[in-house]
Structures are given as C-alpha cells and as structure tokens.
C-alpha cells in the first residue's frame, strides 16, 4: 500500500511532529471524510510500499524523510511552487526558498524523488496568460536538472473556492475568471514548450478536457524506480481523469492554514487556522476530534 501525506492538507509544512510520532508508533488514525468510523493506516512494515508527500514547504519535515528512508520505504515529493502574488497565497514560503528546497532534495535523493507542481493555474488580473508564461519560465529555469516532471492543472472552481476568491478579490482589488478550455489549451501548449526547453516533461492532473499528457501523481512507477524494485499498485483515481495508483491518505480537510484563496481543501482560512491551533502532535489522528 502507498501512503499519501497528504492532498488534503500540508503535513510536511505544519504537522511534522505529528507525523514523526505516528511513524514511531507505526500507524495513523484517519477521520473518514465521507462520514463513518475513523480507520487506521499503517506507516511502517511490509504492508507499506512507499510514501507520496505533498507540500509547499518540505524544510520542517527533512528529519522525517531521513527516518522514512532509514526504514527502507521509498518516497517521492509532490512539491508545489507557483510564485503567485500575496493576495492569492498570503502565507506560503517565498518561491526562492521553495525552489532552493527542491534543488537540495534532488541533490540528496535524486531528480526522480521530486515532482514540481505548478498547480493550480488561476486566471486573475494579477495572473494573466503573460504572467503565467514568464513566471513559469523563471521557475523552470531555477529547477533545470533538479526535476524531470512538472505537473499542472487549471483551477477548478468549487462553491467554496468561488466564495473565497470573491472575498479576496473584494479585499485586494483584483478580478478573476474561469476561461474557456480553448484558452487554457493555448497556455498549456506554451508551457509545454518551456518545460521541454528545461528538460522537463509536462503532465496534466485530472483534466481530460485538456489535450496533454495525463499525470499520475500517486506514481507507482516512480516509486519503483526509487525503490529499485517493482511496486505493484492498481490504478484507482479519486475523480474523473485521475490516473493515480491506489493509496491511503492520512490527512484531513480544513487543517491547512496556508490560506490560498483557490484551495478546494478548506472552507475558509479561519476554520483551518482554528483547527491548526487546536491540533496537538500527540493526537492519533490529524483531524481535531
């Protein structure tokens, strides 16, 4: 089984001590996001094939990576760096800090260990087509030779995302829109050229409407390469167009206090901040009981 930590929240950035305690214990308890009883996910032993970590800041988590490697489990990192203006991402680490972290991880664990995510692509008066072209090229230039894949997606506007975007737009004086797929396709093609120029394969996460190589974010092939042996995992995506290998996620919604205005995993930053403040590393599960 592959453990995902976590597409529901940023465990490496905010919950490093909790993960360390859970790893030492050998399991985590996960609140069922669809209702029902909590369930237990093993974190060590023969049943754990590897880990996929999702983050915008891996630095607080580096000791945990050493511990995971010591127990013989392969891991890969889905590392998001977008470099958006602060009104859209009020508390993520600076792009240069995140880029340096990726380069450091690649030197220590190899370029197959990290996938750069430029995700999600959001169209606003602060981040138009030209912004994305220039910004993506600058970030890609800093990561040349450190990663071999960049994963993108275009922002999916859920009801809570729309509400949070509207609130931020009013507060900070920008506008936003969700353009037609034809416009998104045109940007994708521009970004593909830039990625190729920097020796990266561009993939698209869970958006079959876009004509581009589909991503497998929970990537059993990449984990197999890192492990040096085959990791067999059936494909079991989370939504339409998702090609991820089967995994168990140990995170919880409404616990990431980054405050990104487009985020699908929180209803609002104040809720996430409250849950973060109430959390204790001794808890067996990440979600507040």
pLDDT in tens, 116-128: 999 999 999 999 9
Write out the two tokens for 177: 């829109």
Give the three-state DSSP class for 235. strand
pLDDT in tens, 224-252: 999 999 998 888 877 777 899 999 999 99
pTM, two decimal places: 0.96
268 pLDDT higher than 90? no
Query: Is the four-CA dihedral 288, 66, 199, 81 of positive or negative sign?
Result: positive
Distance of CA 97 to the CA centre of its chain: 16
289 pLDDT higher than 70? no
Average pLDDT along the chain: 94
Domain 2-278: give its CATH code.
3.20.20
Ordered alpha helix ranges (H), 41-158: 62-70, 95-109, 129-143
């Amino acid at each position: 089984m592959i453990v995902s930590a976590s597409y529901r929240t940023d465990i490496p950035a905010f919950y490093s001590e909790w993960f360390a305690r859970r790893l030492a214990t050998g399991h985590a308890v996960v609140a069922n996001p669809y209702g029902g009883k909590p369930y237990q996910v093993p974190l060590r032993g023969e049943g754990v094939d590897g880990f996929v970590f999702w983050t915008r800041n891996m630095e607080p988590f580096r000791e945990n990576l050493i511990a995971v490697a010591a127990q013989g489990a392969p891991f890969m990192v889905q590392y998001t760096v977008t470099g958006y203006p602060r009104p859209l991402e009020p508390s993520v680490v600076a792009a240069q800090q995140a880029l340096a972290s990726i380069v450091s991880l690649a030197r220590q664990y190899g370029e197959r260990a990290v996938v750069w995510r430029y995700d999600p692509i959001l169209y606003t008066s602060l981040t138009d087509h030209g912004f994305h072209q220039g910004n993506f090229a600058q970030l890609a230039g800093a990561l040349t030779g450190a990663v071999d894949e960049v994963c993108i997606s275009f922002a999916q506007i859920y009801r809570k995302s729309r509400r949070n975007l509207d609130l931020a737009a009013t507060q900070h004086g920008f506008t936003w829109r969700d353009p037609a797929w034809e416009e998104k396709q045109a940007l994708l093609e521009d970004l593909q050229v830039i990625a190729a120029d920097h020796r990266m394969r561009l993939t698209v996460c869970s958006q079959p409407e876009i004509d581009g190589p589909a991503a497998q974010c929970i990537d059993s092939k990449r984990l197999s390469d890192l492990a040096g042996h085959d990791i067999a995992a059936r494909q079991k995506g989370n939504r339409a167009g998702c090609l991820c290998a089967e995994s168990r996620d140990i995170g919880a919604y409404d616990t990431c206090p980054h405050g990104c205005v487009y985020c699908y995993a929180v209803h609002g930053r104040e809720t996430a901040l409250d849950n973060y403040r109430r959390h204790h590393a001794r808890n067996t599960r990440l979600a507040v009981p």
